[in-house]
Amino acid sequence: MSFKFPSPEWVTAFDEQINTSDAYANAAKTWEGDITLVIEGGAGIYLDLWHGKCRQAEFLTDPSSKSPEFQITADMEKWKKVLAGKLDPVQGMVTRQIKLDGNLVKIMKNVKAAQELVRCATKVPTVY
């Protein structure tokens, strides 16, 4: 079964991937911070990430309803490339195709966790 991106069902499937990933749990064991992934001009995905687990995952019709520590914004085409493993999110940020609001240094110190998070997203069977 595939899930439409973005949708509440996709977010639930993503949440399950995160919370069943040993690789993420290990890589993010010291991570404390919430993130909203925003589709430019559209919906958002809120994740409350804490010590290798996702404590809360929520589909947001209005991303501005949350004030997370980090917000990552890209248009739909860029998100598709990220989810297909065709765009390295860090390269996307460096070339400003993906916008990060928040402390980059904290992200760069936790790149392995970020990579595992992306890997969890790519494992969700996705349709658009």
Partner 1 sequence: MWYYSSPFVVFGDEALSHLEQLSGERALIVTDATLAKLGIAGRVEEALHKAGMETCLFAEVEPEPSLQTAKRGAQVAAEFAPDWIVGLGGGSPMDASKAIWAMYERPDLDATEINPMITLGLSKAKLIAIPTTSGTGSEATWALVLTDTEEKRKFSTGSRELVPTLAIVDPTLTQGLPARITADTGLDALTHAIEGYVTTWHNDFSDGLCLKGAQLVFDYLERAVRDGNDLEAREHMGNAATIAGLGFGNSNLGLAHAMGHSFGALFKQPHGRAVALYLPYTIDFTTNATLGRYADIARFIGLTDSRDEEEGGRILAEKVRELALAVSQPLSIAEFGIDRADFREMLPKLVEYAEQDTQFFTAPRIPESEELAQMFEYVYEGRPIDF
- Of 22-30, 54-62, 66-74, 119-127, the segment contacting partner 1 by CB under 8 A is 22-30
Out of 4, 65, 112, 128, point to the residue binding partner 1 (CB under 8 A): 112
In the chain, which residue ranges form alpha helices assigned H by DSSP?
Answer: 8-19, 22-27, 76-83, 89-94, 104-108, 111-122
Out of 42, 51, 111, 122, point to the residue binding partner 1 (CB under 8 A): 111
- Of 10-18, 36-44, 58-66, 95-103, the segment contacting partner 1 by CB under 8 A is 95-103
Cβ atoms within 10 A of the Cβ of 21, count?
A: 20
Q: Given CA atoms 34, 15, 9, 75 in this order, what sign does their dihedral have?
A: positive
CB of 9 to partner 1, least distance (A): 30
Polymer length of the chain: 128
Q: Can you tell me the distance from the alpha carbon of 107 to that of 62, in angstroms, rounded to the nearest whole number?
A: 24
Which residues of the shown chain bind partner 1 in the complex (CB under 8 A)?
23, 26-27, 88, 90-91, 93-97, 99-100, 104-105, 108-112, 115
